[in-house]
């Protein structure tokens, strides 16, 4: 009995320690570079080296690496796995040396070519990104999209589309065009939490089995 109580005590203590460590980790992030919304979970040890905005209630459940000269925007209510990398800069390949430190160390020059990057990375709302995904510069991921584990995303992903592979290619649409259009209009991720709680019927509806349903009819 005593042994069981001790074990339970250690579990509670370890859980509390992890929560405290995580709070301190978020507190110490460079706020000028990183903006984190309400209710965000960002895994301890993540490396965010680019200007980054993370929307409300997004969960990054494992370590993520975000780096490069361009900005990254991640929407609301996203789910992101572990070992995900978002890269927003490419190397300048037209010079003899690929390592930028060569130019800085030996010639005192910091090379920067804005054309070396295809631009910022923008991830929409309600997006699911599986483990070990790599997203490359200039990619835009639409609302409600799913990226399969291990994918390398080199091109834009349309809303409510499932993609996977290296390079990532379309697997299928999540819903019919009519359902997708309605979801993009209602933007449920912008609702106040009270409205989300009041619309259990909507969130429990299997939209994949419906083609012509008027979503407005099941929203309070």
Could you tell me the residue ranges of all domains in the chain? 1-30, 33-174, 175-220
The proportion of the chain whose per-residue pLDDT surpasses 90, expressed as a percent, equals 58
CATH of domain 33-174: 2.160.10.10
**Contact status, residue 125 vs residue 183, Cβ threshold 8 Å:** no
**Contact status, residue 158 vs residue 141, Cβ threshold 8 Å:** no
Q: What is the pLDDT of residue 3?
A: 66
pLDDT band of residue 64 (cuts 50, 70, 90) is: very high
Q: What is the pLDDT of residue 90?
A: 66
Q: Which residue has the tokens 């299928």?
A: 172
As a whole number of angstroms, the distance between CA 116 and CA 119 comes to 9
- Inter-residue long-range contacts of 186-195, CB under 8 Å, 24+ positions, other chains counted: 186/215, 186/216, 186/219, 187/125, 187/143, 188/126, 189/55, 189/56, 189/75, 189/76, 189/77, 189/125, 189/126, 189/143, 190/76, 195/220
Q: What is the pLDDT of residue 52?
A: 94
Stated pTM of the model = 0.80
Instruction: For residue 107, give both structure tokens.
Output: 């010639």
The proportion of the chain whose per-residue pLDDT surpasses 70, expressed as a percent, equals 73
Kindly state the helix (H) or strand (E) to which residue 58 belongs, with its residue range: none
118-176 pLDDT, tens digit per residue, is 789 999 999 999 999 999 999 999 999 999 999 999 999 999 999 999 999 999 999 99
Instruction: For residue 139, give both structure tokens.
Output: 């990619």
Kindly state the helix (H) or strand (E) to which residue 219 belongs, with its residue range: none
Q: What is the pLDDT of residue 11?
A: 58
Least confident of 1-15, 43-57, 128-142: 1-15
As a whole number of angstroms, the distance between CA 55 and CA 194 comes to 18
Least confident of 17-21, 63-67, 154-158: 17-21
Asked if residue 129 has a cis previous peptide bond (ω within 30° of 0), the answer is no
């Amino acid at each position: 009995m005593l042994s069981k109580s001790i074990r339970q005590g250690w579990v509670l203590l370890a859980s509390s320690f992890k929560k405290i460590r995580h709070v301190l980790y978020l507190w110490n992030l460079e706020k000028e570079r990183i903006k984190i919304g309400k209710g965000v979970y960002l895994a301890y040890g993540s490396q965010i080296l680019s200007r980054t905005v993370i929307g409300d209630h997004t969960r990054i459940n494992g370590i993520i690496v975000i780096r490069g000269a361009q900005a990254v925007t991640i929407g609301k209510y996203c789910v992101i796995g572990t070992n995900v990398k978002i890269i927003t800069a490419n190397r300048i390949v037209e010079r003899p040396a690929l390592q930028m430190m060569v130019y800085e160390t030996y010639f005192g020059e910091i090379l920067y070519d804005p054309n070396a990057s295809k631009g910022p990375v923008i991830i929409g709302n309600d997006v699911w990104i599986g483990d070990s995904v790599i997203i490359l510069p200039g990619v835009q991921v639409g609302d409600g999209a799913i990226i399969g584990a291990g994918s390398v995303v080199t091109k834009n992903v349309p809303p409510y589309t499932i993609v996977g592979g290296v390079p990532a290619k379309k697997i299928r649409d999540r819903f019919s065009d009519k359902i997708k259009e309605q979801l993009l209009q209602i933007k449920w991720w912008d609702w106040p939490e009270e409205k989300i709680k009041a619309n259990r019927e909507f969130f429990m509806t299997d939209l994949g089995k419906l083609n012509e349903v008027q979503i407005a009819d099941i929203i309070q």
